[in-house]
Amino acid sequence: MLPGCLTLALPIIQAPMADVSTPALAAAVSESGGLDSLGIGAMTPEAARAAITETRRLTDKPFGVNVFCHRSVRPDTACMTRWLNWLKPEFERYDTLPPATLREIYPSFCDTMATCDMLAEEHPALVSFHFGLPDGAMIAVLRRVGIVLAATVTSRTEAIQATEAGVDLLIAQGYEAGGHRGIYDPHRQTISGSIPSRF
Q: Is 165 helix (H, G, I), strand (E, B) or coil?
A: helix
Q: Where are the domains of the chain?
A: 4-72+107-177, 74-105
Q: Indicate whether 170 pLDDT > 70.
A: yes
The tens digit of pLDDT for each residue in 4-63 reads 667 778 877 888 888 888 999 999 999 999 998 899 998 999 999 999 999 999 999 999
Considering only the C-alpha atoms of the chain, give the largest distance between any 2 of them, rounded to a whole number of Å: 56
Supply the DSSP symbol for 33.
Answer: T
First to last CA, the chain: 11
Q: Residue 191: which pLDDT band, with cuts at 50, 70 and 90? A: very low
Q: Is 51 helix (H, G, I), strand (E, B) or coil?
A: helix
Q: Is 55 helix (H, G, I), strand (E, B) or coil?
A: helix
- Residue 150's identity, in one-letter code, is A
Q: Indicate whether 123 pLDDT > 90.
A: yes
May I ask the CATH architecture of the domain 4-72+107-177? Alpha-Beta Barrel (3.20)
User: Residues of the chain with pLDDT > 90: what percent?
Assistant: 60
Classify the phi-psi angles of 111: left when phi > 0, otherwise alpha if psi is within -120 to 50, otherwise beta: alpha
Predicted model pTM: 0.82
CA distance 164 to 136: 10
Q: Where are the beta strands (DSSP E) in the chain?
A: 37-39, 64-68, 126-130, 148-153, 169-172
